[in-house]
Structure 1
Amino acid sequence: MPLHPEIAADLALAAARGEPPLKELSAQAARARAEAEPRVAGAPVKAVETIALPVKSGTIAARVYRPFGDSDALPGIVYIHGGGWVLCSLDTHDNICRNLAASVGAVVVSVDYRMAPEHRFPVASDDCLAAVRWIAAHASDLGIDPARLIVGGDSAGGNLSAVTALRIRDEGGPALAGQMLIYPVTDDIAAGHPSYVEFADGFGLTADDMAWFWDHYVPDPTERTHPHASPLRAESLAGLPPTLLLTAGCDVLRDEGEAYAGRLAAAGVMLDFHRYEGLHHGCAGDYGRLRAVTPFFEHIVAWARAIFRL
């Protein structure tokens, strides 16, 4: 199915700017461009606070979004932003986190994990695991019900969320109520998934972009099949928490995300999977600006509220 006309028009406007591709930029220049991109304002929330989380060799920042309401024990979402393990920040994904907090009625904690190339694999994964464990241990201080805590993210953040859920299963908790995987990276770029050819260029995220991201995050190709880099390569997916996995129909990552969904279902994991035809990679950030994205984002909200029994 082709791109939704609204998405196609938006991508055409972006292409008309004639910006150089990622492969021609340094990580620093690419970050500056990503931070300068105009963004839609997120929904109003009751409070936003920045905190420090302890990780190996230091601390990282996290931003806590509290929805309106008076409950002292709300459900919690640990959100891990996308950006190919190299780009983006708490600011670039502020709108997504605000919208989740407001629409779901949950405390959202957005994690500012350390990024490549300064901090290569597996630092980002280690940071995210440490963050989830700290948040679970300090749930009452954050006003979160520890029995209703999920981890989720988009793209590379979906990758890190899936890896975090695997490591929590294998390395001793804490228990998660669910994992929310939004067009996630799940496999080594060399795997040859057909969507890498079908949507190689002209759909936002390109195949060349993904090669650039992998080269920065896991420059050694022999490490890219490790399950903590490519969760699709995990020996078993049994025992993982209830999962939402959404893919975009016009996305280089579509097929590996759907392969992961297939393995989750085969392993008996409670799964809510859907492919949104006509959408592109990164569409979650366009909620509130592009009407075509509304059903996609509302699906995320409905799943989370069901998991949290709201």
Structure 2
Amino acid sequence: MQEHFLRHLRKAMDTPSFPCALSSLPLRRVISLFVPGPAGPMPARLFLPHGRVRGAVLYLHGGGFVHCGLNSHHGICCRLARVSGAAVLLPDYRLAPEHPFPAAVEDARAALAWLAALSARYWDGGVGVAGDSAGGNLAAVLAQDGVAGRGPMPALQLLYYPTLYGRQEFPSHQTYARGYFLSRRSMAWYGAQYIQDEQHWDDPRFVPGMNDLTGLPPAVIVTAQCDPLRDEGAFYAQALRHAGVRVLYRCYPGALHAFLNFYAFMPHGKAALRLGGRALRKAFHAQA
């Protein structure tokens, strides 16, 4: 039953809101490739904009660590590459429950290491990390890895409605518990698929909001008003500022969780991608 449900869920949720071929038209090239991972080669797509490429972004897709992939986030990465002027890598990291925590973290680390080596060879500006929802969690972890010397130091962390605090409760969890696309019940289900060992609920690779935030790279944090995860992003932005980190925080009024995936017909989605892309462009130009 679970296998049948996951197969249909993943098929439905990896459908783009806008045709991939049309999304790719404003770019110079989209390359399908494999990048090295701890469990073997990972499928990925590399998005290259026109003009001089400056910087490279690892984009980690959302989907509760359970679904979504290369198709669902194709258009998002196309827009980010075009606005930022940077190369964008979208890896198809392993999904739970077949591959529970820390598989996604390990894959994300391997993809960032590969991208950083490629960027150092071909492009100026360094690397950035970005992601939405579960992908925002992974991006935040990679930014903390950079400070700890466990990986490249990103020029910017771009987090769209991230999950950051594990089981810690926030008011928005209850305010938007039902009827706003992402429910409190589905959040618990996603968590149970990804975290299958009780001790991992408090692991710093899953709850980046509970770690030391000193010295982290600048952050852009975007949330949706009507989203159970809204307060997690807002609280993390405040905590980063208290730690001396430069933060741009934006909450889009009336928006729901995952609104980025529907950018094709939601103005807030386009605006949030422009905001992130311009921040990345500025960060890469400052490092070049």
What TM-score comes out, normalization by structure 1 length? 0.85
Partner of 1:7: none
Partner of 1:199: 176
Amino acid at match of 2:267: R
Alpha-carbon distance in structure 1 between the residues aligned to 2:146 and 2:41: 20
CA contact (8 A) 1:43 1:102 kept: no
- Secondary structure of 1:308's aligned partner: helix
Return 5+ residue gaps in structure 2 as ranges.
none
Work out the CA distance in 2 between the residues paired with 1:239 and 1:305: 21
Aligned to 2:109: 129
After superposition, the Cα gap between the structure-2 partners of 1:231 and 1:202, relative to the gap in structure 1 and judged at 3 Å, is same
Residue aligning to 2:41: 59
Q: Deviations over 1:151-186 (max 9, x none)?
A: 101000000000111122214432211111111010
Distance 2:131 2:220 in 1: 11
Does residue 88 (structure 1) correspond to residue 68 (structure 2)? The answer is yes
Aligned in 2, Cα 1:198/1:24: closer, same or farther, shift over 3 Å?
Answer: farther
Give the Cα–Cα distance (whole angstroms) in 1 for the partners of residues 141 and 80 of structure 2: 22
Q: Is 1:34–2:13 an aligned residue pair?
A: yes
Change (3 A) 1:57 1:263: same
1:152 aligns with 2:152: no
Provide the identity percentage: 35
Tell me, yes or no, if the aligned pair for 1:158 and 1:185 is still in contact at 8 Å. yes
In structure 1, what is the Cα distance between the partners aligned to 2:49 and 2:83?
Answer: 9
8 Å contact from structure 1 (residues 185, 256) kept in 2: yes
**What is the aligned partner in structure 2 of residue 50 from structure 1?**
32
| Unaligned ranges ≥5, structure 1 | 1-22
Corresponding position: 1:301 with 2:274: no
Question: TM-score, with normalisation over the residues of structure 2?
Answer: 0.91
Structure 1 residue 296 displacement after superposition: 2.5
Larger mean CA deviation between 84-93 and 297-306 belongs to 297-306
Work out whether residues 84 and 156 of structure 1, in 8 Å CA contact, stay in contact via their aligned partners in 2: yes
Selected match of 1:280 from 256, 261, 265: 256
1:44-101: CA deviations, max 9, x gaps?
Answer: 21111122111213121221011112x3x52211111110001000111000001111
Q: SS where residue 127 of structure 1 aligns?
A: helix
The match for 2:155 among 152, 177, 181 is: 177
Matched to 1:258, the amino acid is A
- Between the aligned partners of 2:268 and 2:12, the Cα distance in structure 1 is 25
1:197-241 deviation per Cα after TM superposition (whole angstroms, max 9, x unaligned): 11111111111111111010002343112111111121x111111
Matched with 1:106 is 86
1:227 alignment partner, SS class: coil
Q: Matches of 2:199 and 2:172 in 1, distance apart?
A: 23
> 1:74 and 1:219, CA in 2 relative to 1: closer, same or farther beyond 3 A?
same
Secondary structure of 1:87's aligned partner: coil
